[in-house]
A and B are shown apart, each in its own frame.
Chain A
Amino acid sequence: MGELPKFQDENLLVGMETSDDAAVYKITEELAMIQTVDFFTPVVDDPYTFGLIAAANALSDVYAMGGVPKTALNIVGFPNCLSPDILGEILRGGAEKVKEAGAVLSGGHSVQDDEPKYGLCVSGFVNPNKMWKNYGCQPGDVLILTKQIGSGIINTAVKAEMASESAAKEAVQVMASLNRKAKEVLEKYPVHACTDITGFGLLGHMAEMVSASSVSVRVNVEAIPYMEEALAYARMGLVPAGAYRNREHSQAYVNIGDVEEAYTDVLYDPQTSGGLLASVPKKYAERILCELKQVNTGIKSAVIGTVESKRETYIYLEKENEADGQK
Chain B
Amino acid sequence: MITVNAIGDACPLPVVKTKKALENLEAPDMVEVFVDNETAVKNVTKFVSQTGKKAVSKKIEEGRYQILIDCTGNSEEKDGSKEIQPEKSGGCAENTGNAGGTVVVISSDRMGEGKDELGKVLMKGFLFALTQLDTLPEKILFYNGGAQLTCEGSDVLKDLEFMQEQKVEILTCGTCLDYYGLKEKLKVGSVTNMYTIVETMAEAGKIIKP
Residues on A lying within 8 angstroms of B by beta carbon are 156-157, 159-162, 164-167, 228-229, 231-232, 234-241, 244, 260-262, 324-327
Q: Which residues of B contact A261 (CB under 8 A)?
A: 46
The contact of A237 among B46, B190, B193, by CB within 8 Å, is B46
Q: Which residues of B contact A260 (CB under 8 A)?
A: 80
Name B10's closest neighbour in chain A (CB-CB). A241
| Best-buried of A159, A239, A260, A261 by chain B (most CB within 10 Å) | A239
Q: Which residues of B contact A231 (CB under 8 A)?
A: 83
Q: Which 3 interchain pairs have the tightest Cβ spacing? A: A237-B43, A237-B47, A237-B46
The contact of A235 among B81, B184, B191, by CB within 8 Å, is B81
Contact A236 B194, beta carbon cutoff 8 Å: no
> Is there a chain A Cβ closer than 8 Å to B50's Cβ?
yes
Contact A236 B47, beta carbon cutoff 8 Å: yes
Residues on B lying within 8 angstroms of A by beta carbon are 11-13, 15-16, 19, 37-39, 42-48, 50, 80-84, 174-175, 178, 183-184, 186, 190-191, 193-195
**Known contacts A228-B175, A228-B178, A244-B39, A326 near B191 by CB under 8 Å:** yes
Q: Which residues of A contact B190 (CB under 8 A)?
A: 326-327
**Known contacts A157-B12, A160-B15, A228-B175, A236 near B50 by CB under 8 Å:** yes
Distance between B160 CB and nearest chain A CB, rounded to angstroms: 14
Per the bound structure, the CA–CA distance linking A165 and B11 in Å amounts to: 20
Contact A162 B194, beta carbon cutoff 8 Å: no
Q: Which residues of B contact A244 (CB under 8 A)?
A: 38-39, 42
Distance between A168 CB and nearest chain B CB, rounded to angstroms: 11
Per the bound structure, the CA–CA distance linking A232 and B50 in Å amounts to: 9
Distance between B87 CB and nearest chain A CB, rounded to angstroms: 13
Name B196's closest neighbour in chain A (CB-CB). A232
Name B174's closest neighbour in chain A (CB-CB). A228
Per the bound structure, the CA–CA distance linking A162 and B193 in Å amounts to: 12
Contact B42 A156, beta carbon cutoff 8 Å: no
Distance between A174 CB and nearest chain B CB, rounded to angstroms: 15
Q: Which residues of A contact B44 (CB under 8 A)?
A: 237
Q: Which residues of A contact B38 (CB under 8 A)?
A: 244
Distance between A135 CB and nearest chain B CB, rounded to angstroms: 31
Contact B12 A164, beta carbon cutoff 8 Å: no
Per the bound structure, the CA–CA distance linking A325 and B184 in Å amounts to: 8
Contact B175 A166, beta carbon cutoff 8 Å: yes
The contact of B11 among A161, A229, A240, by CB within 8 Å, is A240
Q: Which residues of A contact B174 (CB under 8 A)?
A: 228
